[in-house]
Amino acid sequence: MFRTQKCMKMRNYLVLAFILLGGLFFMNFKTTVSEPSGSDAVAYEVPADVQQLIDNSCYGCHNSDSKNLKGKKKLSFDKMADLKIFKQIGKLEAISDVLTEGDMPPKKFLQKMPDAKMSTEEIALMGNWASDLAKKMTHSIE
């Protein structure tokens, strides 16, 4: 009688230990499950040919040390990678827009700096990069 009671007690402890361990595994499992949605997200990347166009025609006004206050507040290429994905997508959409509209680089600036003028092909290259990447990034978090 005494022995069986002691056995039962031990069994209870064992069951309890299993439940606790199981709970721990489950909790671990849950945290690892919630992560991939973040890592599936397509990252902001600039191919070399586009980067060259940015450096030549945009970067002077659109970087975080720029003297062009309005330009840098709207868009700083050197800070793009640090932004939240929602912001990155929004800015890529704006880049694609200004290129289709022919708003950037500003016309006045091009009169002074004709070297910054982009050819139709170059505009298309940068515009497609921005709109394709924005679409890919959007789908990756949907």
Partner 1 sequence: MRSRIIWYIVIGLFVGIQLVPSGRPEVVDDNPNDLLSNHQLPEHTASLLRNACYDCHSNESIYPWYAYVAPVSWLVSRDVRLGRENLNLSDWNSFSKGEKLKYLDGMAVEVGDGQMPMIIYPLTHPEAKLSREDREAFVEWTETFAEQLFSK
Q: Where does this chain bind ligand HEC (CB under 6 A)?
A: 57-58, 60-62, 68, 70-71, 74-75, 94-95, 98, 104-106, 109
| CA–CA separation, 71 and 109 (whole Å) | 13
Using the rule CB under 8 A, which residue among 8, 18, 86, 113 binds partner 1?
86
> Taking a C-beta distance cutoff of 8 angstroms, is the pair 95, 126 a contact?
yes
From the centroid of its chain, how far is CA 19? 40
| CA–CA separation, 105 and 122 (whole Å) | 13
Question: Residue 142, interface with partner 1 (CB under 8 A)?
Answer: yes
The structure tokens listed for 92 are 């890529």
Question: Residue 98, interface with partner 1 (CB under 8 A)?
Answer: no
> What mask of x and - would describe binding to partner 1 in positions 16 to 55, judged by CB under 8 A?
----------------------------------------
> Taking a C-beta distance cutoff of 8 angstroms, is the pair 94, 130 a contact?
no
> What mask of x and - would describe binding to partner 1 in positions 109 to 138, judged by CB under 8 A?
-------------------------xx--x
